[in-house]
Structure 1
Amino acid sequence: MTDVHGDVWARGARYDHAVNVATGGPPDWLRALLRRELDDEALTAYPDERAAAEAIAFRHGRAPEEVVLLNGAAHGFALVAQVLAPRRPAVVHPQFTEPERVLGGGVEQLVLRDPYTLERAAVDKDIDLVVVGNPTNPTGVLHPRGAIRGLVREGRTVVVDEAFMDFIPGEPETLAGEGGAGVIVLRSLTKILAVPGLRVGYLMADAALAERLRSARSAWPVNGLALAVARATALHPERLVPVAERAARDRAALGAMLAAQLPDARVYPGAANFLLVALPPDGPDALTTAAGLRDAHGIAIRPASTFPGLSAHHVRLTPRGGEHDARLVAALRTAVADGR
């Protein structure tokens, strides 16, 4: 089956555990900001990125010229493919599949072994572009930044997808604040703020490379509302803490429920706002389970079997808390029992 993103699995479902954006929708402060911006110049003036870039640079201890605003983090992968045109690119898997799609044919898959922690020795010295997630979607693995730094070498660019880093208090393994050549860090605000329709992202790279990437974009690639959100979030990163804390609580609670009620399933420890789970191998596979849950219970989950390196029984689950997660676990238990 061709891989599709979680939003496709969630279409038509009543309960969404497939899309990995923060639970609860946009926070109140963000809704108020968007209403104010609608009455200001966000819609009537051409977008001006300077204030957002300065705020992002300040948050991460970078220079504004090292920041490139994006129409969502996925926009950054396309820019990298277009501008760098790597001879021998590689993607570390299991991982978000969009980078591989935009890089085109000939991408090498560096598939990590279970439990999917980074192995520096797996990267051949002739590979000139490496894409790695941190924390990685869908495994939730948080790699030590030293291990990622170990991938850097002369003639190679390492692209670090940190779309879920905001969910980790203190961000101990981020490379966002480290300058120097050879590393591009991609960030997304759509996950932590639950605004995937707004498309808010940015990347950071050394000034020369950032300028090349910036110049390759179309005119006004990021809308005024998204720029206002990026600036406000960068100026007040403490606003993200309650969302991250809730995600950690919900993740732990769902993991405990799964362990208690589906003991034959394997729940992987994760650092983001989702869990990778291997369903019992003698039960229905991930695709069958996902289709059955949606049809019988209106519940959407993300089959992870389409990610390179994962099995036919892996699923990704986004916790939603309380009764929502209890309903999910009960439905999974029924699906596994009925399929045996």
Structure 2
Amino acid sequence: MITVGVGASTGVSAEEVLAAVDAVLPPDAGPVELATLDARAAEPGLREAAALRGWPLTGHPAPVLAAVPVPASSARVAAAVGTGSVAEAAALLGGGRLVVGKTVRGRVTVAVAEDVDLRHHGDAEVGPGLVDLAVNVRADAPPAWLRAVLHEALDASAGYPDPRPARVAVAAAHGRDPAQVLLTAGAAETFTLLARALTPRRAVVVHPSFTEPEAALRAAGHPVERLLLTAPAYRLDPAAVPDDADLVVLGNPTNPTSVLHPADTVAALARPGRVLVVDEAFADSVPGEPASLAHRADLPGVLVVRSLTKTWGLAGLRVGYALGPADLVAALAAQQPHWPVSTPALAALVACSTDRARAEADAVARQLAVHRRALIDALPAGVTVVGDPASAFVLLHVPGGARVRGRLRAEGWAVRRGDTFPGLTGDHLRVAVRDPGTSGAFATALAAILGGVSADLPALHALAEESR
């Protein structure tokens, strides 16, 4: 979907509106919708323009538009209509990516945003015959002892699942009361439960980050603001989070940047009256988990989301949990159906919460750090490692990234595209850390492809300019 934000003077004609819109629409644009200030949505010229093309027209209140971060805000416009931006804010309100900034054409101002596919994930990149560097799941897992646990649990699956032993085991592992533990069918379920249970006045999602939280909130009808961290470090500044945000969501370490925010920095966002959701799906990929808040029951409103997917190779089992205040956990649990977590998943939670399993996870994290260094050292010239990676993947900036990704796929390599993460572009590629042999072979293939793509870059840049 393409959203065209429109600002227009009183009495503007349909012809003026359509001429301004047609001048900025991308080639072969898909479905289009118009968005504007609610006071302008009743303008006959705007309504006629939308009707002539069969485009939906939506008007938004000035306070809603005023809350949308935009590249170009005007104090003069704010004084006149109550928001510093109409066209850009209306285009961006739905969560898309700005592709054409504020453009003035006579009595009409337009801006264009295109949808970001928040439901696109790394599993969509993989396929038969491809080396999987797109999914951040440990390649040599689950280990044999965990497979045995799962097989035994499958034999015991005739009865209904009993979550109590798993809840106690997870609570003990993190020094929590069992009432502060929510067991879930994968970490992603928690985000859907939050969207169902809460009615935030101002929800802020820190990006670039895992997109399921925002997708779940939007699907439930909640407006979402994005706080885009600044390249190249992508470091969190607590002061950038609005004081009145009553729901804040971020990842740590962050997917896709692999950046680890210090525990004190994240904890500074906690306050009474706010739910702070910290996605720690990759926390155990960092030796010693130095930035984890999983044990911080003292922090108000903090919900820590964890997963067994990555380190233990259990993506298909769907097993995760959340840790937070007992009243919040109870509210989320009330949104779950009966028996939401299967018997094998519960058995995995118990087994992976033991001291022995946690020590093994830490050893895996230490080996991962060595393998990540090997990947980074093997990368060819012209590739930039974004930020300071600390987890099971690295984010790369590669000139001509979209074409490079296609050629990698043709050579048998699947990597994760970056342009479906808010704040990133087609030149960003996320690459999973594998053993040094696999990483070396990938780096060799990438170097060979870049040698061919570099000659095409002037043409690529020219095409990009023509499409603007």
Q: TM-score, normalised by structure 2?
A: 0.69
Deviation per CA, 1:284-315, whole angstroms, max 9, x where unpaired?
Answer: 22x322222112x1110001122111233111
* Structure of larger gyration radius: 2
Instruction: Confirm whether residue 233 of structure 1 aligns to residue 352 of structure 2.
Output: yes
Q: Is 2:413–2:442's contact at 8 Å kept on the other side of the alignment?
A: yes
Distance 1:217 1:162 in 2: 21
Distance 1:7 1:32 in 2: 26
- Selected match of 1:172 from 274, 285, 290: 290
Q: Is 2:154–2:343's contact at 8 Å kept on the other side of the alignment?
A: no
**Alignment-mate amino acid for residue 373 of structure 2:** A
Distance 1:241 1:2 in 2: 34
- Selected match of 2:255 from 109, 113, 137: 137
**Alignment-mate amino acid for residue 205 of structure 1:** G
Distance 1:126 1:201 in 2: 30
Per the alignment, residue 303 of structure 2 pairs with 184
Instruction: Confirm whether residue 113 of structure 1 aligns to residue 234 of structure 2.
Output: no
Deviation, structure 1 residue 233: 0.6
Distance 2:307 2:281 in 1: 5
Distance 2:310 2:261 in 1: 19
Per the alignment, residue 61 of structure 1 pairs with 175
Instruction: Confirm whether residue 307 of structure 1 aligns to residue 421 of structure 2.
Output: yes
- Selected match of 2:245 from 127, 150, 153: 127
**Alignment-mate amino acid for residue 62 of structure 1:** R
Instruction: Confirm whether residue 78 of structure 1 aligns to residue 192 of structure 2.
Output: yes
**Alignment-mate amino acid for residue 329 of structure 1:** A
Deviation per CA, 1:197-229, whole angstroms, max 9, x where unpaired?
Answer: 001100011111111111211111000000000
Flag structure 1 segments of 5+ consecutive residues without an equivalent: none
Q: Is 1:23–1:247's contact at 8 Å kept on the other side of the alignment?
A: no
Percent same amino acid among aligned pairs?
43
Distance 1:36 1:250 in 2: 33
User: What secondary structure, in the 3-state scheme, does the structure 1 residue paired with 2:396 have?
Assistant: strand
User: What secondary structure, in the 3-state scheme, does the structure 2 residue paired with 1:191 have?
Assistant: helix
Distance 2:142 2:136 in 1: 14
Q: Is 1:13–1:300's contact at 8 Å kept on the other side of the alignment?
A: no
Per the alignment, residue 290 of structure 1 pairs with 405
User: What secondary structure, in the 3-state scheme, does the structure 1 residue paired with 2:378 have?
Assistant: helix
Distance 1:246 1:326 in 2: 16
Deviation, structure 1 residue 153: 2.3
Distance 2:171 2:436 in 1: 38
Instruction: Confirm whether residue 156 of structure 1 aligns to residue 297 of structure 2.
Output: no
Deviation per CA, 1:110-155, whole angstroms, max 9, x where unpaired?
Answer: 0010211101121111211000100000111111111111112232
Q: Is 1:233–1:239's contact at 8 Å kept on the other side of the alignment?
A: no
**Alignment-mate amino acid for residue 228 of structure 2:** V
Flag structure 2 segments of 5+ consecutive residues without an equivalent: 1-115, 455-468
Deviation, structure 1 residue 339: 1.1
Deviation, structure 1 residue 77: 0.6
Distance 1:253 1:194 in 2: 22
Deviation, structure 1 residue 35: 2.0
Per the alignment, residue 81 of structure 2 pairs with none
Instruction: Confirm whether residue 242 of structure 1 aligns to residue 357 of structure 2.
Output: no
Distance 2:244 2:258 in 1: 28
Deviation, structure 1 residue 13: 4.3
**Alignment-mate amino acid for residue 257 of structure 2:** T
Q: Is 1:13–1:294's contact at 8 Å kept on the other side of the alignment?
A: no
User: What secondary structure, in the 3-state scheme, does the structure 2 residue paired with 1:227 have?
Assistant: helix
Distance 2:323 2:344 in 1: 21
Deviation, structure 1 residue 78: 0.6
User: What secondary structure, in the 3-state scheme, does the structure 2 residue paired with 1:35 have?
Assistant: helix
Per the alignment, residue 29 of structure 1 pairs with 145
Instruction: Confirm whether residue 2 of structure 1 aligns to residue 117 of structure 2.
Output: yes
Deviation per CA, 1:70-90, whole angstroms, max 9, x where unpaired?
Answer: 000000011111111212111
Distance 2:180 2:235 in 1: 29
Per the alignment, residue 253 of structure 1 pairs with 374
Q: Is 1:22–1:247's contact at 8 Å kept on the other side of the alignment?
A: no
Per the alignment, residue 394 of structure 2 pairs with 275
User: What secondary structure, in the 3-state scheme, does the structure 2 residue paired with 1:169 have?
Assistant: coil
User: What secondary structure, in the 3-state scheme, does the structure 2 residue paired with 1:10 have?
Assistant: coil
Deviation per CA, 1:244-275, whole angstroms, max 9, x where unpaired?
Answer: 222212111001101xxx22211132111111
**Alignment-mate amino acid for residue 446 of structure 2:** L
Structure with larger RCO (C-alpha < 8 A, sep 6+): 1
Deviation, structure 1 residue 25: 2.5
